[in-house]
Amino acid sequence: MAEYRAPLADLQFALNDIADLHAIPDSNGATPELVEQVLTEAGRFASDVLAPLNQSGDLSGARIENGVVRVPDGFADAYGRFVDGGWNAVCGPTAWGGQGLPWVVSTALSEIWQSSNMSLANCMMLTQGAVELLAHHGTDAQKRAYLPKLISGEWSGTMNLTEPHAGSDLGRLQTRAERANGAWKLRGQKIFITFGDHDMCDNIVHLVLGRLPDAPAGVRGISLFLVSKRDVLEDGSLGAHNDVRVNSLEHKLGQMGSPTCVLMYGDEHGARAELVGEPHGGLKTMFTMMNHARLNVGIQGVAIAERAFQQALEYARTRVQGSPIEEPRADAVEIIRHPDVRRMIMDMKAKTEAARALAIVTAEALDLARAHPDPGVRERSALRAELLVPVVKGWGTDRGVDVASTAIQVHGGMGYIEETGAAQHYRDARILPIYEGTNGIQALDMLRRKLHLGDGEPFRELVSDIQAVATQLADSPGEDLPAIGRHLATAAAATGEAGTWLTGKFWDDPRAAAAGATPFLELLGFTTGGWTMGRAAIRAAERIRSGETDPFLGTKIQTARYFAEMHLPTAAALAGPIRAAGNTVDAAAAA
């Protein structure tokens, strides 16, 4: 497996040139200079400590011994070093021991951790989501008891939604809480619980969806509970084990080092639980953690794409096979010199950079929604983030899968052999379009909710912003930027028209609209990806005109043009299938 090196130049370009890190208010001293140092140190830690365990963790996997989940060798030590280095606290609230750095910084760091070792980084990602939820919805007592330990990483957190009979249909949950001796006792079963148990820290804080005795049916009867693996005593120390146990570990396609648990609550006396938020308001409360997870799973898509790209690029630069097509009698050359291999490498690079930039821009909107002094900017930024999160999750994870698949293709037959490591990236990537609401659910969320936010104004404003970038590109000197602008303008027009059509169609014929929802999410993903790459090209050209000579800038323009010319015309053509889907999907035979 190729060594991992954090893409520091592209991360910093995305933070400072596509987004504007310097302009984010209340960033707790996160200057571009400081963030550069943080990312450099993070990249070093990831390369030296986390990445070397990625393949060995995949080979050995997590296991159960005497009812306790054991992570792969080296994981616990690496996690301890991660916590001791303060990395878990980087973006936690300062009031509870965090460093309070912005979402954009968290996004860049998350990519580094996930690229280097996704199986291990799952634990940190979920803990960060638990921190976000409790910081917003926990009582003062819950914040005091749990946030400092979660932020430091001394304890970890989980998210418990799924049950065997319900899947994504949360309205069918059967886990129930009953009042006994002044406390809630929880009983039920949860499946697919990532890091539901492990031996890397002393306590695990489970956030669990369930029902109160008087709960109405469906999603309006869901409450949220906190279940600590061990009792937390008044002085903060840990007491007895709670009535929660691991029933089994799932046998999976990938992410073998990340334990996916079946958890049983209340088999004996009932699991001691605390209500979080309002009774019957659990789904709304949990959405704080779910939206955090959806953004971070989108970042996982970027991360695995980057890791697969690095793997394929190294192989293509060193594998000697075949004569150049223009000199058939010449000696064999490195395969990166063959046009189709170069095409695949460029395709991986362009998709990864577009998805990365889109994730950073979405995180920037979250930062502005949180801290901008102008309430109007806060509101618009919050709506922009709501609109883009399902795109980052859906389109970003689909790109992770297809880039990882292309990486296997670059390796040829050797890519299908586990020893090279290329297959692991594909196996690890495949869960991402399913995690935290399948991508089909993300598409339906876009159709049913996000296109209708603010009577459609946030969507129209996004399309207008994309068209403005296309116009700026078209009016730029040279050949590269105008070419990008032409394709981006066409994609933006197709996106606007398709979104308007779907919005109207949804009220008249929701099944027909739903049939076109997934291709629309694909169209919106490629168009917003082209938008971020167009912005990147503009900034790179400005810096070149100012006298900078870094080759990175010219490469960025080439990559943006590749993305525009190879993907935006195909994306724009999805406008037809979006409209036609309703006529063909239901008519097609089910068998």
Q: Calculate helix-pair angle for 551-572, 517-545, nearest 10 degrees.
A: 150
What is d(CA 246, CA 259) in angstroms, rounded to the nearest whole number? 11
Other Cβ atoms less than 10 A from the Cβ of 33: the count is 8
Run of H or E including 318: helix 282-318
* Closest by Cα among 191, 117, 46, 127 to 428: 117
What is d(CA 171, CA 220) in angstroms, rounded to the nearest whole number? 8
Structure token digits, residue 155: 């304890």
- Contact indicator for 131, 234 with CB cutoff of 8 Å: no
* Closest by Cα among 343, 140, 141 to 233: 141
Backbone dihedral region of 81: left (phi > 0), alpha (psi from -120 to 50 degrees) or beta? alpha
Other Cβ atoms less than 10 A from the Cβ of 517: the count is 23
In which residue are the tokens 């395969």 written? 335
Candidate list 436, 461, 479, 522, residue with the active-site label: 436
Structure token digits, residue 107: 């996004």
What is d(CA 306, CA 419) in angstroms, rounded to the nearest whole number? 19
Structure token digits, residue 270: 């009932």
What value does the CA radius of gyration of the chain take, rounded to a whole number of Å? 24
State CA 464 to chain mean position distance.
26
Extended beta strands in 250-363, E state: 260-265, 271-276
What is d(CA 345, CA 308) in angstroms, rounded to the nearest whole number? 10
Query: Is 178 a catalytic site residue?
Result: no
* Closest by Cα among 232, 226, 425, 230 to 313: 425
What is d(CA 25, CA 378) in angstroms, rounded to the nearest whole number? 11
What are the C-alpha distances in Å from 320 to residues 2, 127, 307, 315? 17, 45, 22, 9
Question: Residues 6 or more apart from 106 whose CB is under 8 A from it?
Answer: 90, 91, 128, 363
What is d(CA 39, CA 19) in angstroms, rounded to the nearest whole number? 16
* Closest by Cα among 209, 214, 170, 158 to 186: 209
Extended beta strands in 420-539, E state: none
- Contact indicator for 568, 527 with CB cutoff of 8 Å: yes
Q: Which long-range contacts (CB under 8 A, 24 or more apart) does 45-48 make?
A: 45/81, 45/82, 45/85, 45/87, 46/4, 46/6, 46/112, 46/113, 46/115, 46/116, 46/117, 47/3, 47/4, 47/5, 47/6, 47/116
Indicate the DSSP class of residue 30. -
- Contact indicator for 72, 55 with CB cutoff of 8 Å: no
What is d(CA 120, CA 133) in angstroms, rounded to the nearest whole number? 21
What is d(CA 324, CA 335) in angstroms, rounded to the nearest whole number? 9
Run of H or E including 150: helix 140-152
Other Cβ atoms less than 10 A from the Cβ of 239: the count is 11
- Residues annotated catalytic, as ranges: 436
